[in-house]
Structure 1
Amino acid sequence: MRHEVIVGVERRRRWREEEKLSILGKVGLNGATVSDVARCHDITRQHIYQWR
């Protein structure tokens, strides 16, 4: 099992518009669900729903 220790100030990731559109475009391709795409990009499903 792998553990990650975050030291210092944790900051929010910023997503460029192009990145968001690219991720959103993957939902539904080859049957990919929102959960599948979110897991692949290490984000929450809520991110995808908000971006829509």
Structure 2
Amino acid sequence: MEIMYVMIGLSLLMAIGFLAAFIWSIRTGQQDDLVTPSMRILLEEKEQKN
């Protein structure tokens, strides 16, 4: 039965860690624009060799 308390504690610590990482990513702007970086390669013009 003691292992249940340990597992619940560990799962709560992991959940708090993931929540903290998510909040950090929102505050630093990591989630602002998810479309443009993947489309940039399709829209760039190729450089011509001289």
Say yes or no: TM over 0.5.
no
TM-score by length of 1: 0.27
| More helix per residue | 2
TM-score by length of 2: 0.28
